[in-house]
């Protein structure tokens, strides 16, 4: 990381230190575990959205895709609604469904030339529709021990979900750093025309990026199901904008071409620490929303100061 990227990590350390000084409970081991557990789902979703943002596109489909995968997984592993007990295969199918919905966003974008803003909003609605159909009035509760264990089991102090999130960030970083998909995602966001002129067919890569993002959201939906013990249509509610916020706070630009998975992971931690810390130091719930917004804006402002001359961040 260059000096230009140091803003968000510094902000994270400062905010953590301030809360730790104000509240002894905040700096307890149990609370750090809480923060990691709470950050896990958002980290996985943000991983996915980061690739889309790197291309300079936007993705608002997370809520719907997560809902669809949450219901799918709840109905495929051992549950109270039907006799299915597919275990890992069920999880894989749910993630596959989510990847399919992601591919749909990408295809609509490149084939129908509909802006990603609209296609993904539409796909979100499709996902919620699919989820509502599968829900059909009765909440599926899971009894699959492996999936429940993701949320409750601990390894080296952290829950299974936290380790999965860590794995996702690592995989995301490897894809971004070492594969053609990752490099081209950057390049599309930086200068799509240049890439096209040099003979690269951009469209398949765009579809692939949306598919990858969909798969990450799908895993996020599965993780929410593991946490709550039930498949909820609203499993992804709020994650779409929370993930975009986290990515931007971490230093990924909405205009594309800058940032990345590690930046976004820092952004996720910043947001989660903030949410947790404000409760721990006892800020009134009536004030929290506003205070949180203020700190986020301040953190983003601090993060982009080194880039201010680059017109794109202030547009």
Partner 1 sequence: MTRMSRPVAALFSLSVAAMALAGCSEGSSTASGESGACDASDVKLVGQVRNESNPYEASWLDGGDAFAQSVGLKQERLTYDGDSTKQQEQIRQLLAGDTDCLVMNVLPNGDADTTPIVKGADQAGAYLVTQWNKPADLDPADYDRWVSHITYNGVESGQQIGDALAEAIGGEGGIIALQGVLDTAAAKDRFAGLEASLAKNPGVTLLDDQTANFSRAEALDVTKTLLTKHGDKVKGIWAANDDMALGALEALKQAGRSDVAVVGIDAVPDALTAIQDGSMTATVSSDGPWQGGIGLAIGFCAATGELDVKDLPADNRAFFAEQFLITDANVGDFATPKTDESDFECDNVFDRVAGPLS
Helices (H) and strands (E) in the chain, counts: 12, 2
> Can you tell me the distance from the alpha carbon of 52 to that of 58, in angstroms, rounded to the nearest whole number?
6
Give CA torsion, residues 46, 47, 48, 52, to 10 deg: 90
Is residue 122 a contact point for partner 1 (CB under 8 A)?
Answer: no
Of the candidate spans 113-121, 183-191, 228-236, 262-270, the one that interacts with partner 1 by CB under 8 A turns out to be: 228-236
Residues 271-290 that bind partner 1 (CB under 8 A): 275-276, 279-280, 282, 285-286, 288
Nearer to partner 1, 200 or 283 (CB): 283
- Among 92, 230, 254, 302, which residue interacts with partner 1 (rule: CB under 8 A)? 230
CA–CA distances in Å: residue 19 to residues 22, 23, 149, 166, 198: 5, 6, 31, 24, 50
Contacting partner 1 (CB under 8 A), which of 84, 141, 255, 307?
A: 141
List the one residue from 16, 19, 51, 135 that touches partner 1 (CB under 8 A): 135
Shortest distance, position 154 Cβ to partner 1, whole Å: 10
String marking each residue 6-45 x if it binds partner 1 according to CB under 8 A: -----------------x-x--x-xx--x--xx-------
Residues in contact with partner 1, counted by CB under 8 A, come to a total of 38
Alpha-carbon distance of 128 to 236, in angstroms, equals 10
Residue 61 in contact with partner 1, rule: CB under 8 A: no
Which helix (H) or strand (E) segment holds residue 24: the answer is none
Q: Cα separation of 159 and 261, whole Å?
A: 21
- Closest CB to partner 1 among residues 208, 274: 274
For residue 288, give both structure tokens. Answer: 């929290």
Q: Rule CB under 8 A: say whether 234 interacts with partner 1.
A: yes
Per-residue contact string for residues 178-217; x = within reach of partner 1 by CB under 8 A = ----------------------------------------
Cβ count near 198 (within 10 Å): 9
Q: Which residues contact 281 (CB under 8 A, 6 or more apart)?
A: 19, 22, 23, 26
Is 75 a binding residue for partner 1 by CB under 8 A? The answer is no
101 part of the interface to partner 1, by CB under 8 A: no
| Contact status, residue 152 vs residue 219, Cβ threshold 8 Å | no
Asked whether position 240 contacts partner 1 by CB under 8 A, the answer is no
DSSP states along 28-74: SHHHHHHHHHHHHHHHHHHHHHHHHHHTT-----HHHHHHHHHHHHH
Name which of 193, 218, 177 is nearest 56 in CA terms.
193
State the nearest-atom distance from the C-beta of 174 to partner 1, in Å. Answer: 29
Q: Which residues bind partner 1 (CB under 8 A)?
A: 23, 25, 28, 30-31, 34, 37-38, 128, 131-132, 135, 137-139, 141, 151-152, 159, 224, 227-230, 232-235, 237-238, 275-276, 279-280, 282, 285-286, 288
């Amino acid at each position: 990381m260059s000096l230009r990227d140091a803003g968000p990590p510094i902000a994270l350390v400062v905010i953590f230190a301030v809360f730790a000084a104000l509240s002894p409970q905040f700096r307890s081991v149990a609370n750090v575990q809480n923060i990691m557990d709470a950050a896990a789902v958002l980290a996985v979703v943000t991983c996915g959205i980061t690739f889309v943002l790197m291309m300079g596109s936007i993705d608002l489909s997370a809520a719907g895709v997560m809902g669809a995968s949450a219901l799918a997984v709840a109905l495929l592993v051992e549950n109270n609604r039907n006799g299915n007990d597919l275990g890992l295969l069920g999880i894989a199918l749910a993630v596959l469904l989510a990847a399919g919905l992601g591919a749909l966003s990408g295809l609509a974008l490149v084939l129908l030339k509909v802006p990603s803003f609209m296609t993904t909003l539409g796909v979100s609605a499709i996902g919620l529709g699919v989820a509502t159909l599968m829900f059909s009035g009765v909440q599926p509760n899971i009894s699959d021990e492996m999936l429940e264990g993701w949320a409750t089991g601990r390894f080296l102090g952290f829950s299974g979900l936290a380790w999965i999130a860590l794995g996702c960030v690592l995989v995301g970083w490897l894809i971004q750093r070492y594969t053609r998909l990752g490099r081209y995602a950057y390049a599309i966001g930086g200068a799509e025309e240049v890439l096209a002129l040099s003979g690269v067919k951009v469209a398949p890569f765009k579809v692939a990026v949306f598919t990858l993002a969909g798969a990450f959201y799908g895993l996020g939906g599965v993780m929410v199901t593991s946490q709550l013990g039930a498949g909820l249509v609203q499993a992804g509610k709020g994650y779409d904008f929370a993930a975009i916020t986290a990515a931007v706070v971490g230093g990924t630009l909405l205009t594309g071409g800058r940032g990345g998975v590690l930046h976004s992971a820092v952004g996720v931690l910043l947001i989660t620490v903030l949410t947790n810390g404000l409760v721990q130091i006892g800020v009134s719930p009536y004030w929290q929303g506003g205070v949180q917004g203020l700190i986020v804006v301040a953190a983003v402002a601090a993060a982009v100061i080194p880039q201010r001359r680059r017109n794109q961040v202030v547009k």
